[in-house]
């Protein structure tokens, strides 16, 4: 709402009569309405070639040819016709006011300044709306890129060893299978969790591509946030500011040249015009939010003193100078101070003429709008980048967790099974190891896509087979059907981690498994030695990963001695899961 009010307020000031009145003429009101259709984001479906033609036809009579110039820049898509037509409108505005050199310069300068400022304000407004509506688009693109990167890295780090395992298994080399799988599993479990480094300054979606510190927009976007076509891409803010202020400076110079002031007074007026305009450019330069130019208090005070002195001096330049000082107050000072200063400048200028008061309001709103919108666009860009970095960091943690819990445990199971094949070559363990390697290879391809959800039935069957092959008895209570489908992948991950730890670290002869709607508990009769405990320092990421998975579903996870000389891991689902499971079973 603030953005639209600033834009409409600046346009209203431009449409006000040049003779000092506040209220636009009827034709100027029509031009103002057409320009609002061209500028506001929610009027996309109303604008088109006919509204542009209407604005061009209104230009000679509306008194605001700058609206036609802005409309050309906003609606003509091809660069060469756009700028040629813009130059013709500016030249036509000068010709319409060519009763004197100053009149021609003033007409062309106003059309140039108004066209560029309305154009820049509109595109900044659209850009802000577009970026705000697509805050998560950059994050999604960065996550997709991170998944592609992870897929390549995982294939190089684990895909190659798994392919070697399958070749060795086909050749009957059980010892080679065991050694290869063990090395790969050790590498997975020793690897630290990846950390997110700084992301690129431009995203894969191209939304931020080419944006420098002064840029207000990136490449063309085909559609705006409302689904309608967006106008042409905006110029960087700095060239717009320089062009607008150069136009004001040129008009002031022509005005002074025609005023026939004595040489000393003319030189003083020209110097004052250059100082105030130059300080205004310095105060308005695009910069990060909250950052002000060095010594802004002194430079603004100097700008005010010079502007007021020239305004009340004999034959001074047009009263844009106090308007610049008021604009600087809005840009540099807090709102509680800036707006009262603007009000005071309007009252002071009103003592000179109504036109001066209108100039103060219009120029102040234009400069403030450019500074405000530039800062807001920059803030939204920074928010998008921060969201993207957070999303990438979260994705890296998720991939690292899946690699440890799924691939690390899978490779460990392959190694254990292959070692059993070495000891008992005729028991079919090598074929089982090859099957586990095939399963792990499939999970490797699913991890980057976040599709590596474990199947509880499959994990239960694998656990029973692995424990039996290792000579460990398993007594199970509960059935998979008692567990809600939504909770089964979590229980499967816990079961895989627990089974792998039993095989890798304990000397257990018996395990007990209890599963159901309440969760899962796996206990063995021989406590893991300290170096093998999931919760021990330096042992890996098993307990933290499973704790994080459980917390995501509001469940609890514990891994500790069971009090009977053994070790147990336990996942406790929330009470709501038990109630929902009973409801689903009843149905």
For the residues 536-550, what does the mean pLDDT come to?
A: 67
Angle between helix axes 160-170 and 174-190 (nearest 10 degrees) is 160
Task: Please name the residues in contact with 431: beta carbons below 8 A apart, sequence gap of 6 or more.
Answer: 169
pLDDT of residue 405: 76
> Of 146, 189, 164, which is closest to residue 534 (Cα–Cα)?
189
Q: Within a 10 A sphere around the Cβ of 587, how many other Cβ atoms? A: 5
> Is 218 a residue whose pLDDT tops 50?
no
> Is 88 a residue whose pLDDT tops 90?
yes
> Is 401 a residue whose pLDDT tops 50?
yes
pLDDT of residue 576: 64
For the residues 391-402, what does the mean pLDDT come to?
A: 85
Q: Determine what percent of the chain is predicted with pLDDT higher than 90.
A: 20
Which of 85-89, 297-301, 328-332, 562-566 shows the lowest mean pLDDT across its residues? 562-566
> Is 541 a residue whose pLDDT tops 90?
no
Residues facing 514 on adjacent strands: 477, 521
> Is 59 a residue whose pLDDT tops 50?
yes
pLDDT band, residue 220 (cuts 50/70/90): very low
> Of 215, 129, 551, 205, which is closest to residue 388 (Cα–Cα)?
205
Q: Which domains does the chain have, with CATH numbers?
A: 454-587 (3.30.565.10)
Whether the CB-CB separation of 261 and 239 falls below 8 Å is answered with no
- What is the DSSP code string of 338-389? HHHHHHHHHHHHHHH-HHHHHHHHHHHHHHHHHHHHHHHHHHHHHHHHHHHH
pLDDT of residue 451: 64
> Of 339, 336, 328, 341, which is closest to residue 296 (Cα–Cα)?
328
pLDDT of residue 582: 54
> Is 241 a residue whose pLDDT tops 80?
no
pLDDT band, residue 33 (cuts 50/70/90): very high
Whether the CB-CB separation of 553 and 487 falls below 8 Å is answered with yes
Task: Please name the residues in contact with 305: beta carbons below 8 A apart, sequence gap of 6 or more.
Answer: none
pLDDT of residue 556: 92
pLDDT band, residue 308 (cuts 50/70/90): confident
* Residue 288, φ and ψ in degrees, nearest 5: -60, 155
> Is 237 a residue whose pLDDT tops 90?
no
Query: SS3 string of 544-579?
Result: HHHHHHHHHCCCEEEEEECCCCCEEEEEECCHHHHH
pLDDT of residue 131: 72
CA distances from 272 to 64, 143, 352, 402 (A): 28, 55, 18, 68
pLDDT in tens, 488-539: 989 998 998 888 888 877 788 899 999 999 999 999 988 655 444 444 333 4
- Rounded-to-integer distance, Cα 476 and Cα 582, Å: 21
Which tokens in the block code for residue 326?
């008021």
For the residues 70-95, what does the mean pLDDT come to?
A: 92
What is the maximum alpha-carbon separation in the chain?
114
Tell how many helices (H) and how many strands (E) occur in the chain.
21, 5
Q: What is the mean pLDDT of the chain?
A: 79
> Is 211 a residue whose pLDDT tops 60?
no
Task: Please name the residues in contact with 67: beta carbons below 8 A apart, sequence gap of 6 or more.
Answer: 11, 14, 15, 31, 32, 34, 35, 55, 58, 59, 114, 115, 118
pLDDT of residue 474: 92
pLDDT band, residue 210 (cuts 50/70/90): very low
pLDDT of residue 523: 92
pLDDT of residue 107: 84
Task: Please name the residues in contact with 8: beta carbons below 8 A apart, sequence gap of 6 or more.
Answer: 36
For 445, counting Cβ atoms within 10 Å of its Cβ (0-12 exposed, 13-18 middle, 19+ buried), the class is middle
Residues facing 516 on adjacent strands: 519
- Pick 320 or 424 by higher pLDDT: 424
> Of 86, 19, 100, 12, which is closest to residue 56 (Cα–Cα)?
86
pLDDT in tens, 161-209: 899 999 999 999 999 999 998 888 877 765 555 554 444 434 433 334 3
pLDDT of residue 29: 92
Report CA torsion sign: 390, 391, 396, 397: positive
pLDDT in tens, 97-139: 877 887 888 788 888 888 888 888 888 777 777 777 776 777 8
For the residues 246-259, what does the mean pLDDT come to?
A: 80
This model's pTM is above 0.75: no
pLDDT of residue 212: 40
For the residues 322-330, what does the mean pLDDT come to?
A: 86
- Pick 86 or 503 by higher pLDDT: 86
pLDDT in tens, 451-501: 667 889 988 988 898 888 888 899 999 999 999 998 998 999 899 888 888
Which of 74-78, 181-185, 367-371 shows the lowest mean pLDDT across its residues? 367-371
Which tokens in the block code for residue 47?
């604008």
> Is 324 a residue whose pLDDT tops 70?
yes
Whether the CB-CB separation of 302 and 279 falls below 8 Å is answered with yes
Which tokens in the block code for residue 506?
């304990």
- Rounded-to-integer distance, Cα 332 and Cα 110, Å: 25
> Of 312, 307, 310, which is closest to residue 326 (Cα–Cα)?
307
């Amino acid at each position: 709402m603030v953005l639209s009010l600033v834009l409409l307020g600046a346009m209203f000031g431009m449409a006000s009569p040049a003779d000092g009145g506040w209220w636009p003429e009827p034709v100027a009101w029509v031009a103002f309405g057409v320009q609002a259709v061209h500028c506001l984001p929610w009027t996309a479906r109303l604008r088109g070639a006919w509204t542009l033609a209407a604005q061009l036809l209104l230009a000679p009579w509306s008194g605001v040819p700058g609206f036609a110039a802005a409309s050309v820049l906003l609606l003509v898509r091809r660069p060469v016709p756009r700028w040629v037509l813009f130059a013709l409108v500016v030249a036509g505005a000068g010709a319409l006011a060519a009763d004197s050199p100053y009149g021609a310069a003033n007409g062309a300068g106003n059309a140039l300044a108004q066209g560029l400022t309305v154009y820049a304000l509109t595109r900044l407004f659209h850009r802000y709306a577009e970026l705000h509506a697509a805050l998560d688009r950059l994050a999604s693109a960065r996550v997709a890129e991170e998944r592609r990167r992870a897929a390549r890295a995982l294939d190089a780090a684990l895909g190659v060893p798994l392919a070697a395992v399958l070749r060795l298994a086909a050749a009957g080399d059980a010892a080679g299978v065991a050694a290869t799988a063990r090395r790969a599993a050790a590498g997975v479990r020793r690897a630290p969790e990846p950390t997110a480094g700084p992301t690129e300054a431009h995203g894969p979606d191209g939304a931020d591509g080419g944006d420098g510190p002064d840029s207000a927009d990136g490449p063309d976007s085909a559609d705006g946030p409302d689904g309608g076509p967006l106008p042409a891409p905006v110029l960087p803010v700095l060239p717009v500011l320089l062009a607008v202020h150069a136009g004001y400076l040129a008009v002031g110079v022509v005005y002074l040249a025609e005023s026939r002031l004595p040489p000393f007074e003319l030189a003083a007026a020209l110097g004052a015009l250059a100082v105030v305009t130059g300080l205004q450019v310095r105060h308005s330069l695009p910069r990060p939010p909250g950052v002000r130019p060095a010594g802004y208090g002194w430079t603004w005070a100097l700008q005010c003193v010079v502007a007021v002195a020239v305004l009340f001096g004999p034959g001074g330049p047009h009263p844009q100078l106090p308007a610049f000082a008021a604009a600087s107050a809005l840009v540099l000072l807090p709102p509680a101070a800036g707006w009262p200063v603007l009000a005071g400048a309007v009252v002071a200028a009103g003592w000179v003429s109504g036109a001066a008061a209108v100039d103060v309001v219009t120029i102040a709103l234009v400069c403030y709008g450019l500074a405000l919108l530039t800062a807001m666009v920059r803030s939204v860009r920074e928010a998008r980048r921060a969201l993207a970095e957070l999303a990438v960091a979260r994705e890296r943690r998720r991939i690292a967790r899946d690699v440890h819990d799924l691939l690390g445990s899978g490779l460990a199971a392959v190694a254990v099974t292959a070692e059993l094949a070495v000891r008992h070559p005729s028991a079919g363990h090598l074929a089982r190891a090859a099957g586990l390697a095939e399963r792990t290879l499939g999970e490797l391809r699913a991890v980057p896509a976040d599709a590596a959800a474990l199947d509880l039935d499959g994990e239960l069957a694998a656990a029973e087979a692995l424990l039996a092959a290792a000579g460990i008895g398993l007594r199970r209570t509960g059935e998979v059907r008692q567990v809600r489908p939504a909770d089964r992948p979590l229980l499967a991950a816990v079961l895989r981690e627990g089974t792998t730890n039993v095989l890798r670290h304990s000397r257990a002869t018996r395990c007990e498994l209890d599963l159901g709607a309440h969760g899962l508990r796996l206990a063995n009769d021989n406590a893991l030695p300290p170096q093998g405990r999931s919760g021990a320092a330096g042992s890996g990421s098993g307990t933290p990963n499973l704790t994080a998975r459980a917390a995501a579903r509001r469940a609890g996870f514990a891994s500790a001695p069971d009090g009977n000389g053994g070790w147990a891991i336990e996942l406790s689902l929330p009470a709501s899961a038990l109630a929902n499971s009973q409801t689903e079973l009843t149905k």
